Structures are given as structure tokens and as C-alpha cells.
Amino acid sequence: MFWEVIGWIFFAFLLAVWLYLLIVVFSDLWTNKWNGWITAAWTVGIIGFPVIGILAYMIFRPEPTPGEKAAMNRQQAGISTAGELEKLSDLHDKGVLTDDEFAEQKARVLA
């Protein structure tokens, strides 16, 4: 009886991990900028061969661009693009940033 309970707890843990992986992989897959055919092929592959499909997706998915990495870091830090642009505008209005520096920083934020 004791080992059955342990077995069910372990099974529930594995199921929770599996559902979490599915949510993470599909949310990443459907929010990227790939061609629709590529997204459809990955979806069919993951549904048809779940373990191999998810592992292959995690291995072969492309690295985010530097702009995407910066946006993810800002999002994790709780900094919005609008808030960052407002701070840059304030610094530019106060004369701390030159026009060229302001344009460069604005392009970095918007990238």
C-alpha cells in the first residue's frame, strides 16, 4: 500500500513535468517568427512523437536574436519599453544625452 502511494505521487510528478514541458514548448513554438509550415511541422512532430519531438525542438530551436534577448531581459526585470523610452526622453531633454546618443539608445530599446 505504501509503495503504491509513492508510485502514484511519482506518476503525478512526472505528469506535471510533462504538462509543463508541453506548455513551454508550444508557447515558444507558436509565438516565434517562423514560417507557418515550419510551425505546423514541429506541432505535428511533437504530437506524433511526443518525447522525441520535444527533445528535438529543445535541441534544434534557434537562438534568440540579441534584440529578443534584450527584450526578454527587460521583461524579466519588469522594465517596459515605454518606461525606458520615457527615461531616455527625460535624459535627452535635460541635456544628459546628445541627439546621437539618444537615437542610438532609442534604437537599442526598440530593437
What pLDDT is attached to residue 99? Answer: 80
CB-based burial, 11-45: b 16+ in 10 Å, e otherwise: eeeeeeeeeebeeebbeebeeeeeeeeebeebbee
10-53 pLDDT, tens per residue? 999 999 999 999 998 888 888 877 788 888 888 898 999 988 98
Q: In the chain, where are the structural domains located? A: 2-60, 66-110
63 or 38, which is more confident: 38
What pLDDT is attached to residue 15? Answer: 94
How far, in Å, CA of 52 to CA of 77, rounded? 33
CB within 8 A of 111, min separation 6: which ones? Answer: 66, 67, 70
How far, in Å, CA of 75 to CA of 81, rounded? 9
* Helices 2-30 & 36-48 angle (0-180, nearest 10): 170
What pLDDT is attached to residue 111? Answer: 67
The pTM for the full model equals: 0.56
73-110 pLDDT, tens per residue? 777 776 777 777 888 888 888 878 788 888 887 887 77
How far, in Å, CA of 17 to CA of 106, rounded? 40
